[in-house]
Amino acid sequence: MSKKLLLEHIDVEGIRSYDVYRKQGGYQAVEKALKGMSSDDVVEEVKKSGLRGRGGAGFPTGMKWSFLAKPDGVPRHLLCNADESEPGTFKDRYLMEKIPHLLIEGMILSSYALGANQSYIYIRGEYMFVMRIVEQAIAEAYANGWLGKNILGSGFDLDLAITPGAGAYICGEETALIESLEGKRGNPRMKPPFPAVKGLWQRPTVVNNVETIAAVVPIIQHGGDAYAAIGIGRSTGTKLISAGGNINKPGVYEIELGLPVEEFIYSEEYCGGIKNGKRLKALIPGGSSVPVLPHYLICKTAAGEPRLMSYESLADGGFATGSMLGSGGFIVYDEDQCMVRNTWNFSRFYHHESCGQCSPCREGTGWMEKVLHRIEEGHGTMEDIDLLWDIQRKIEGNTICPLGDAAAWPVASAIRHFREEFEWHINEPKLSQERNYGLVTEKTFDAQPA
Amino acid sequence: MTAVMNESRQFTPELLEEVNRIVSLFPEGKQKSALIRVLHLAQAHFGYLDTEAMDYVARLLHLNPIEVYEVATFYSMYDTKPVGKVKLEVCRTGPCMIEGAEPIIAHIEKRLGIKDGETTADGLFTLKSVECLGACGYAPMLQAGESFHEHLTEEKVDALIEEYRANPVANYMGLK
């Protein structure tokens, strides 16, 4: 059994309520920090822990915190990014729904570390029912003296509120989230200035993912060193993986980073293998934005090493033969799934979600959707594959925010690894309407012409 | 020229109290931050966001109408045109698709005699395919009002439609 830090008490009956959470040792980390640690001590523990952003980017949390500007007399803010919208990802919802006080405890610790006295949780509007749960838990925390003025007599004040979005994937991007929290359209901002200098209401701001903030609780409770001892290399601690697709046991799992991918997919403790006895065809390990891997690059890297659930191992081989841990949105495809249809589906998603500020993304995502749709429907030409490659290359890196990259990578990786399936759709338009292609041929990777 | 508003086109005292509570979550002068949540309330109360409803919200929050229009037209959860009492929003994105979202959408279309995006003649149901709702492990799924309905089958969808036909209160997203 893997060590559980976030989900240790998830099956305790009533853990959603304050009383049960408290009885299981909840809010002890806040007591420890507010009674015996300075805010710098808390930052130091998080730095020692090696914790990296769990929303997808994997940036070291302690370092992000240390960038926060602290001009005299200007309030600072901590924002929790609960806008979970990356296809394949449903871990933050699980955490907030099941054990909301863990997030609140993490918000208190993190706000204390940053010297923020007014913090917000921004949750996607579709999770309104989850917002009700968290709002109830916030009220309980106020009633029991964990929020408000002079918490535990420490002199530290904190007000915490949760506020919804209204349906926009882009608001998971931190500057779009800030715009949305200010009551505007979710258009990402140009950087610099970075939120750490000018964020919410032009004040210094840190934005962290739900799981990142929750992980601060065990880090303070057990110490940064103990946390860093779990995991592998620079991938320390545990990670929530939301597993879906064609597997026997979809759901949210907490793993120690470094677990072999093969074990995660096939063991009974986790995904329980591929559904209906089918063969594994492809994997998207970190949400729809990260490159898709073909079956022969999933359990082993191109170098023949076992592929591990870690930031480094999943990225091994770069985009040529690797992918990313991303948000931990783990989507498994069996041999019956069509990679062209799936790529078209994701392109439609990014087209729908593009905020429209930058032409390469606004126009390019629509073009990719159209071209992929005609290939899928049996009207494609060979030139369409090159056209797709050209469009995605002209989007990547040419937009204000990473949504452009996120739209480009799935298309690029699908062509890179499943080109023969695209060609088959074009050469066999009738057949491709009747059945799916099946597994792709194992091959060594040749670089795409630039 | 300001027309006198029909009383049914205003918030109830309870809703106005809720607006004040939401505004109080933000610092003085930052009441615009309450806009997204107040628009959810307005949509639930008025059924959809027409110009009159948006102007009303603008007055409530001391904003220019354009600030409300640009938000209401940006976010996908807001309806600026009339919709059915119950919106059935079926997730169509990747993980749901491979677990059978398309047959579920086709089944609802057949069952209600409408296409994706349309509303039934009796004004009861709107069918809308939407992007990822964060229920990928429990696919296929749909959202109606604040409720998620997961692991859908055709039988479950039929039962759900009957349930909502008997008690069509599902679209009140944002109201307790």
pLDDT at A14: 97
Residue finishing a domain among A334, A358, A385 = A334
Q: Are residues A204 and A328 in the same domain?
A: no
> What's the confidence (pLDDT) of residue A449?
42
Name the minimum distance, in Å, from the CA of A205 to any CA of chain B: 15
Position B105 in a domain: yes
Interface predicted TM-score of the whole assembly (ipTM), two decimals = 0.95
Is B64 in the same domain as B25?
yes
Of B72, B94, B122, which one is at a domain's C-terminal end?
B72
Chain A nearest-CA distance from B139, in A, is 8
Confidence of residue B176 (pLDDT cuts 50, 70, 90): low
Residues A225 and A254 in one domain: no
Q: For residue B174, tell me if it sits in a domain.
A: no
Q: Is the pLDDT of residue B129 over 70?
A: yes
**3-state DSSP call for residue B46?**
helix
Residue A320 falls inside a structural domain? yes
**What is the band of B169 on the pLDDT scale with cuts at 50, 70, 90?**
confident
- Residue B155 located in a structural domain: yes
CA-based nearest residue to A220, from A105, A139, A319: A105
Is B40 within 8 Å of A125 when comparing Cβ atoms? yes
The answer to whether residue B176 sits within a structural domain is: no
Same domain, residue pair B65 and B15: yes
Does B101 map to a domain? yes
Distance (Å, whole) CA A289 – CA A69: 31
**Is A152 part of any domain?**
yes
- Contact at 8 Å (CB) between B92 and B108? no
| Separation between Cα atoms, residue B59 and residue B53, nearest integer Å | 10
Low-confidence ranges of chain A (pLDDT < 50): 447-450
Nearest residue of chain B to residue A342 (CA atoms) = B94
CB B107 within 8 A of CB B154: yes
CB-nearest partner of B137 from A166, A168, A244: A244
CB contact under 8 A, A166 and B95: no
Residue A207's CATH number: 3.40.50.11540
- CATH label of the domain that carries residue A297: 3.10.20.600
Query: Tens of pLDDT along B16-68?
Result: 999 999 999 999 999 999 999 999 999 999 999 999 999 999 999 999 999 99
Which residues have C-beta within 8 Å of that of residue B125, sequence separation ≥ 6? Answer: B84, B85, B86, B87, B88, B112, B114, B119, B161, B164
Are residues B48 and B119 both part of a single domain?
Answer: no
* Domain end among B72, B104, B128: B72
Say if residue A384 is in the same domain as residue A253: no
Same domain, A42 and A108: yes
Pair A333, A283: CB distance under 8 Å: yes
Q: What CATH code is carried by the domain that includes residue B100?
A: 3.40.30.10
Structural domain count of chain A: 3
Which of B31, B50, B72 is the last residue before a domain boundary?
B72
* pLDDT at position B8 over 50: yes
Q: Indicate if B18 and B57 belong to the same structural domain.
A: yes
| CB-based contact B71 A342, cutoff 8 Å | no
The residue among A211, A229, A247 that closes a domain is A229
Q: Decide if A12 is inside a domain.
A: no
Question: A308 and A172 in one domain?
Answer: no
A contacts of B133 (beta carbons < 8 Å): 126
Residues A46 and A192 placed together within one structural domain of the fold? yes
B107 and B60 in a single domain? The answer is no
Domain count, chain B: 2
In this structure, what CATH number is given to the domain that contains residue B66?
A: 1.10.10
Q: Check A345 against B94: CB less than 8 A apart.
A: yes
On whether residue A116 sits in a domain, the answer given is yes
A43 inside domain: yes
Q: Is residue A2 part of a domain?
A: no
Q: Are residues A149 and A109 in the same domain?
A: yes
The answer to whether position B173 is within a domain reads no
Closest approach of chain B CAs to the CA of A47, in angstroms? 30
Of residues B36, B97, B135, nearest to A183 (C-beta):
B36
In which domain, by residue range, is B20 found? 7-72
Shared domain check, A403 and A303: no
- What gap in Å lies between CA A438 and CA A420, rounded to an integer? 11
**CB burial string A343-354: b at 16+ within 10 A, e below:** bbbbbbbbbbbb
Q: Are residues B22 and B63 in the same domain?
A: yes
What pLDDT shows up at residue B2? Answer: 41
Q: Are residues A326 and A412 in the same domain?
A: no
Residue A174 lies in a domain: yes
Query: With an 8 Å Cβ cutoff, are B94 and A288 in contact?
Result: yes
Q: Is residue A439 part of a domain?
A: no
Regarding whether B90 and B68 lie in a shared domain, the answer is no
- Per the CB < 8 A criterion, the answer to whether A261 and A307 are in contact is yes
Q: Note down the domain range covering A301.
A: 232-334
Domain boundary among A198, A229, A260: A229
Is B90 part of a structural domain of the chain? yes
What CATH number is associated with residue A391? 1.20.1440.230
- Amino acid A447: pLDDT: 45
Contact B176 A132 (CB under 8 A): yes
Q: Contact B136/A85, CB-based, under 8 Å?
A: no
Q: Give yes or no: residues A97 and A109 share one domain.
A: yes
**B75 vs chain A: nearest CA distance in angstroms?**
5
| Domain identity same for B97 and B159 | yes
A197 in the same domain as A149: yes
As separate numbers, helices (DSSP H) first and strands (DSSP E) second, chain B gives 7, 4
Query: Which pLDDT value is given to residue A310?
Result: 98
Q: Confidence band (pLDDT; 50, 70, 90) for B121?
A: very high
Domain identity same for A221 and A242: no
pLDDT of residue B173: 62
- Chain A's closest residue to B28, CA to CA, is A201
- Please name the member of B75, B136, B174 whose beta carbon is closest to the beta carbon of A88: B136
Contact B40 A337 (CB under 8 A): no
